[in-house]
């Protein structure tokens, strides 16, 4: 009998890692702006993280499946996070920031994916909702965004390294208490990766959700700058993230009640439609408070979209390759999409405006939603995937 209190270290890991991650996600663009980088240069720096994740996430996912451990791979990554984040914030030139950022992100980006992969497996073991575990990451994100936003508004954005190291150290301490995953299968071999590459429904699904994930990642990168360009402060940026992630946490927390009502693809399509509406409204906003007030839509969009997508791809990939498949999904969602969103978003703001960026994002999200509807109808008729869609 598995005790549910054995989940406490895992919940604390998700809390502490996402609390640290919100500092990078929410305030790094403002920090780089403070250091004198242009929006285009900020886009280049922000694209380094997703680029590193494309290599790092499948690499560490493969190691996790090969050696049948998540805990010890997480330990390596968290130690790398602490060491290389310290060095990253010492860099002064664009080139040095990008080079050290690549190493820093190489160790940092797999942590969220590995944590969620472990949470999905533990949820399956306990026969509970994945969302009830994953919500603790959202709570950490929300708590950090509100508190750290106020601290940086008072102390200065240049001091963001200190709260980041605090939460990173907390993550290191709880990793040692984790209960590792158990997989009753032979260790994965490198040739087994071909099973994922040849999984046509999985690959097609990843390509289609990029229409939505690109817009999501562009918002992650530039919402803070957009708010400040509209006259907001670092504290208001923190408040905006707090509102959004609290809504996300509630969606995860109550997933057990709403998630079983429809098939995952129905929820993904629904979230895509709300994404499109959300970006159009942001694009027309002329006051930063409109952004803050509508951030509750983050829970309905990302919360629903992520949970449904994660559940859907889990059904598409063999159990032997769960970590690898999950991290390929992360590499697409946060990696490839992040590169495109960061580079194109920065260039668009530089050339046109933040408003033009969000209007374009709305069009892109609407296109992706329509394509996912076609995919749903086609896969339903052809029976391309196993289990309920």
Kindly state the tokens that stand for 115.
């944590």
Asked whether residue 380 carries a pLDDT value surpassing 70, the answer given is: no
**Buried-exposed string 110-142: b where 16+ CB fall within 10 A, e elsewhere:** bbbbbbbbbbbbbbeeeeebbbbbbbbbbbbbb
pLDDT at 331 over 70: yes
Handedness of CA 92, 94, 100, 105 (dihedral sign): positive
Task: Determine the pLDDT at residue 192.
Answer: 61
Work out the mean pLDDT of the chain and round it to a whole number. Answer: 86
Query: How confident is residue 382, by pLDDT bands cut at 50, 70 and 90?
Result: low
305, two tokens = 């979209």
Q: Indicate the pLDDT class of residue 374, thresholds 50, 70 and 90.
A: very high
pLDDT for 257 equals: 79
DSSP 321: G
- Per cent of the chain over pLDDT 70 is 92
- The pLDDT value recorded for residue 383 is 57
> Residues near 243 by Cβ (< 8 Å), separated by ≥ 6?
292, 293, 295, 296, 298
CB 119 within 8 A of CB 14: yes
Q: Which domains does the chain possess?
A: 7-179+195-382 (1.20.1250.20)
Assign 1 a pLDDT band (cuts: 50, 70, 90): very low
Burial pattern 75-108, b for ≥16 Cβ within 10 A else e, equals eebbebbbebbeebbebeebeebbebbbbbbbbb
**Which range, of 78-87, 196-205, 292-301, averages the lowest pLDDT?**
196-205
Phi-psi region of 36 (alpha: psi -120 to 50; beta: other; left: phi over 0): left
pLDDT at 386 over 50: no
Mean per-residue pLDDT, 296-301: 90
Helices (H), 262-353: 264-284, 288-293, 297-298, 304-316, 322-330, 337-351
* Strand, coil or helix: 53: helix
Q: What is the pLDDT of residue 387?
A: 45
Residue 314 has pLDDT above 90, yes or no: no
Tens of pLDDT along 334-360?
A: 888 988 998 899 889 888 899 999 999
Q: Which tens digit of pLDDT belongs to each residue from 181-223?
A: 765 555 555 566 667 777 888 889 999 999 999 999 999 889 9
CA 169 to mean position of chain CA atoms: 20
Write the pLDDT tens digit of every residue in 251-285: 888 887 777 777 889 999 999 999 999 999 999 99
What was the pLDDT predicted at 234? 80
Task: State yes or no: pLDDT of 381 exceeds 90.
Answer: no
Provide the pLDDT for residue 99: 95
Q: What is the mean pLDDT of residues 380-385?
A: 57
- pLDDT (average), residues 38-64: 85
Q: Say how many Å lie between the first and final Cα of the chain, rounded.
A: 31
Per residue in 95-136, pLDDT tens?
A: 999 999 999 999 998 998 889 888 988 888 888 888 889 899
Would you say 61 and 323 are in contact if contact means Cβ atoms under 8 Å apart? yes
Supply the pLDDT for residue 4: 53
pLDDT band at 385 (very low <50, low <70, confident <90, very high): very low
pLDDT digits (tens, 9 = 90+) for 139-166: 998 888 888 888 888 898 899 999 999 9
d(CA 188, CA 78): 24
pLDDT at 130: 85
Residue 238 banded pLDDT, cuts 50, 70, 90:
confident
């Amino acid at each position: 009998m598995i005790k549910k209190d054995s989940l406490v270290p895992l919940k604390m890991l998700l809390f502490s890692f996402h609390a640290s991650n919100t500092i990078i996600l929410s305030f790094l663009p403002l920090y780089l702006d403070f250091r004198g980088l242009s929006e285009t240069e900020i886009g280049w720096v922000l694209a380094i993280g997703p680029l590193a994740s494309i290599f790092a996430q499948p690499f560490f996912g493969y190691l996790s499946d090969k050696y049948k451990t998540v805990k010890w791979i997480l330990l390596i990554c968290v130690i790398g996070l602490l060491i290389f984040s310290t060095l990253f914030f010492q860099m002064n030139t664009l080139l040095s920031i990008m080079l050290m950022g690549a190493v820093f992100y190489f160790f940092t980006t797999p942590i969220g994916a590995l944590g969620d992969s472990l949470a999905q497996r533990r949820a399956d073991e306990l026969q509970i909702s994945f969302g009830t575990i994953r919500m603790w990451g959202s709570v950490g994100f929300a708590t950090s965004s509100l508190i750290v936003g106020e601290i940086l508004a008072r102390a200065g954005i240049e001091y963001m390294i200190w709260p980041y190291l605090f939460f990173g150290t907390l993550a290191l301490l709880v990793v040692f208490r984790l209960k590792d995953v158990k997989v009753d299968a032979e260790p994965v071999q490198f040739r087994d990766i071909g099973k994922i590459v040849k999984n046509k429904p999985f690959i097609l699904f990843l390509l289609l959700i990029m229409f939505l994930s690109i817009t999501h990642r562009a918002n992650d990168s530039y919402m803070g700058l957009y708010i400040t360009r509209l006259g907001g402060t670092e504290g208001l940026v923190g408040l905006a993230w707090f509102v959004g992630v609290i809504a996300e946490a509630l969606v995860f927390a109550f997933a057990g009640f709403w998630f079983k009502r429809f098939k995952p693809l129905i929820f993904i399509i629904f979230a895509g439609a709300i994404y499109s509406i959300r970006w159009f409204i942001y694009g027309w906003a002329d006051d930063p408070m409109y952004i803050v007030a509508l951030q509750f839509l983050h829970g309905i969009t990302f919360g629903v979209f992520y949970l449904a997508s994660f559940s859907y791809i889990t059904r598409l990939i063999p159990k032997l390759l769960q970590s690898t498949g999950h991290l390929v999904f992360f590499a697409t969602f946060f990696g490839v999409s992040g590169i495109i969103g960061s580079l194109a978003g920065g260039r668009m703001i530089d050339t046109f405006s933040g408003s033009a960026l969000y209007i374009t994002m709305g069009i892109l999200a609407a296109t992706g939603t329509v394509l996912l509807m076609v995919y749903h109808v086609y896969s339903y008729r052809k029976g391309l995937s196993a289990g309920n869609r």
